[in-house]
């Protein structure tokens, strides 16, 4: 992937000189009990800076996403001991907890207080990232952090970086098209590089028509735009990132993908391969439900996005009218009936002293024969 291949070193960081300087000063004078909080829009280099630093210094880099944690107990189990133990070979170690604002929405489960405790006790530097550090939910956490802002990239900076990549890859592209790619990214350098790679696959010259498969990015894009990107690209990473800003949970997106594979793909082999990969994602979806193990979510998302996107041999250059999932339509139409059934089951479970699950499985087939 180009975002990995062209990851900058510390001296090459574009338009983030102040943030880099603050980080290097903080890491040099680091003391236990204080974390660093990177904030700013997506694609501005927050995570990349820590990865680059740890690689150049040969430090152990441990990255976790706050959305993977469900409560205080899980946070302490995963992070607690590792932040107190030395590296196997005595090397430096640095921890990065991404998207901390996602964790802040579950104060009742003690997530924020657990992170604060870890910051106080960690023997190694801890860096957090978020989009908006001034959210009221992060008030208590801010007291233990030094804030560092990452600004949006200018169109000029993005265009300059894309030109360097084009020259290195031997791709011919007009300055006007580079500018359009830079503007579409809306300050997100990572997005611009992903877009450039997605339209450059198998080409040595980029035409204006190649931009037609791209959509303008919105911070909260519609499911239809996300499906367009997912089904049109052949890059697993592009497909995965396509659903990042969709205001729907992964399970609902799963059904959108499932319902539209056959609308997009035409080759029977590609359709079969896509559904086979999606079936594996469905196994992880069921394990999440049955075991409440949210670590499986990462595998489910990878398979249902990147796996489905790479199931095709070539991109279909056609317009597809994506359809609303049939099963969600049925659930929507039966919403009130199901609610009424749940209320009746709850009443019966209290009288019969058993769970609604057991009641539905063992007694409902018989009770449904009567008017209760």
Q: 193 and 115 share a domain?
A: no
Q: How far apart are CA 70 and CA 105, in angstroms?
A: 11
On whether the CB atoms of residues 315 and 234 are closer than 8 A, the answer is yes
Q: 348 and 319 share a domain?
A: no
Q: 74 and 171 share a domain?
A: no
The secondary structure element, H or E, covering residue 139 is helix 139-142
Q: 14 and 135 share a domain?
A: yes
Q: pTM for the whole thing? A: 0.57
- Per-residue pLDDT 10s for the chain (372 aa) are 787 787 877 776 667 888 888 999 999 998 888 899 999 888 788 888 888 888 888 888 887 776 666 566 666 666 666 666 666 666 788 888 887 876 644 444 567 787 888 888 888 899 998 888 887 778 888 889 999 998 888 888 889 889 989 998 888 988 888 888 888 888 888 888 888 887 887 778 888 877 766 654 444 457 887 888 889 888 888 888 888 777 778 888 999 999 999 999 999 999 999 999 999 999 999 888 887 777 888 899 999 999 999 999 888 878 788 888 877 666 555 566 666 777 777 777 777 777 776 776 677 666 666 654
How much helix, strand and coil, in percent to the nearest 5, is found in the chain?
Answer: 60, 10, 35
Q: 77 and 139 share a domain?
A: yes
Per-residue tokens: 237? 């990473």
Q: 267 and 135 share a domain?
A: no
372 within domain boundaries = no
On whether the CB atoms of residues 59 and 90 are closer than 8 A, the answer is no
Enclosing domain of residue 301: 240-333
233 within domain boundaries = no
Q: 187 and 257 share a domain?
A: no
Q: 62 and 197 share a domain?
A: no
Q: 312 and 359 share a domain?
A: no
Q: 326 and 344 share a domain?
A: no
Domain limit, last residue, from 202, 217, 232:
217
- What is the total count of domains within the chain? 4
Q: 298 and 197 share a domain?
A: no
On whether the CB atoms of residues 134 and 163 are closer than 8 A, the answer is no
- pLDDT tens column, 168-204: 888 898 888 888 888 888 888 888 888 888 788 777 8
| Token pair 């006790």: residue | 121
Q: 104 and 6 share a domain?
A: yes
């Amino acid at each position: 992937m180009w975002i990995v291949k062209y990851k900058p070193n510390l001296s090459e960081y574009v338009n983030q000189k102040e943030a880099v300087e603050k980080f290097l000063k903080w890491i040099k004078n680091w003391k236990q009990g204080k974390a660093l909080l990177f904030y700013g829009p997506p694609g501005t280099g927050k995570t990349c800076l820590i990865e680059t630093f740890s690689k150049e210094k040969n430090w152990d880099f441990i990255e976790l996403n706050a959305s993977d944690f469900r409560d205080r107990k899980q946070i302490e189990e995963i992070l607690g001991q590792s932040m107190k133990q030395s590296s196997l070979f005595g090397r430096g170690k640095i921890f990065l907890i991404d998207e901390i604002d996602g964790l802040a929405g579950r104060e009742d489960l003690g997530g924020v207080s657990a992170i604060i405790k870890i910051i106080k006790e960690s023997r190694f530097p801890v860096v957090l990232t978020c989009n908006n550090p001034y959210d009221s939910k992060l008030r208590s956490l801010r007291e233990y952090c030094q804030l560092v802002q990452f600004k949006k990239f200018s169109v000029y900076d993005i265009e300059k970086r894309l030109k360097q990549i084009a020259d290195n890859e031997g791709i011919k592209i007009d300055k006007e098209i580079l500018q359009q790619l830079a503007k579409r990214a809306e300050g997100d350098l990572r997005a611009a590089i992903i877009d450039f790679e997605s339209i450059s696959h198998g080409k040595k010259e980029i035409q204006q028509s190649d931009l037609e498969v791209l959509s303008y990015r919105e911070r909260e894009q519609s499911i239809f735009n996300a499906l367009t990107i997912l089904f049109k690209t052949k890059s697993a990473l592009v497909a995965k990132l396509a659903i990042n800003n969709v205001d729907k949970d992964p399970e609902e997106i799963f059904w959108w993908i499932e319902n539209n594979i056959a609308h997009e793909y035409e080759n029977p082999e590609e359709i079969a391969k896509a559904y086979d990969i999606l079936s594996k994602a469905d196994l992880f979806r069921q394990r999440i439900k049955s075991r409440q193990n949210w670590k499986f979510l990462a595998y489910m998302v990878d398979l249902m996005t990147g796996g489905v996107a790479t199931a095709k041999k070539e991109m279909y250059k056609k317009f597809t009218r994506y359809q609303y999932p049939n099963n969600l339509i049925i659930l929507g139409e039966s919403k009130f009936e199901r609610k009424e059934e749940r209320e009746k089951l709850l009443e019966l479970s209290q009288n019969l002293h058993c769970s609604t699950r057991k009641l539905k499985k063992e007694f409902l087939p018989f009770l449904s024969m009567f008017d209760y």
